[in-house]
Chains A and B, each alone.
Chain A
Amino acid sequence: DTAVSQTPKYLVTQMGNDKSIKCEQNLGHDTMYWYKQDSKKFLKIMFSYNNKELIINETVPNRFSPKSPDKAHLNLHINSLELGDSAVYFCASTASGTGVGYTFGSGTRLTVV
């Protein structure tokens, strides 16, 4: 199936731990994003990569580090997890220059206890 795939779907971890979320798309898109959705359902952009180059870096704590090994993959590593990091994290992708909307993954629900 053509899609944006995220793993894991659920992640429960203790404060202070380091964790990673992975994202892969097979749509042939060259731009990928990480969005955070808080408990009020508000969606806010965190990062964007275009062809492995970081192009958007919103005001995000530097405990969050994205990595894009190739244009089909965008991972998110979070160090020293805090309670406030609990949220649903969505990966999305689009083809730059087409001016069309994103395709989203199904999300990773991160719970920090």
Chain B
Amino acid sequence: GESVGLHLPTLSVQEGDNSIINCAYSNSASDYFIWYKQESGKGPQFIIDIRSNMDKRQGQRVTVLLNKTVKHLSLQIAATQPGDSAVYFCAENPGEYGNKLVFGAGTILRVKS
């Protein structure tokens, strides 16, 4: 598939298990963080966001955790499904003019049926 040869971190999980995808961000001034999902041949799709005054936010089957002390973000997906297979990106907003988002390198999630 498209992920062959990408050499991105890869997480393989069994269908129905929980997934945790991690991200280290770089700028301690960043005040807004987003997780995006990118399926093959498509653009990044918004999953969930969190502001720096929170350390946890829950959505439908997804939870984002923010640890500002160590500049770490994680995305938890409950009961992972085959349709969750994609590349996942974290993005940070350093608060600069223009609302620029800086993206992390991406993690491939493979769900085995």
Contact = CB atoms under 8 A, between A and B. Distances in A.
B77 interface: no
B42 interface: yes
Interface string A39-69: 0111111001010000110000000000000
A106 interface: yes
A48 B34 contact: no
Contacts, number: 62
Given A40-B8, A48-B98, A56-B98, A101 B49 contact: yes
Nearest to A48: B98
Contacts of B91: 101
Interface in B94-112: 97-103, 105-106
B32 A99 contact: yes
A14 interface: no
Given A105-B43, A106-B42, A31 B98 contact: yes
Interface of B: 6-8, 32, 34, 36, 38, 41-46, 49, 51, 87, 89, 91, 93, 97-103, 105-106
7 contacts: A41-B106, A42-B105, A43-B44, A44-B103, A45-B102, A101-B101, A106-B41
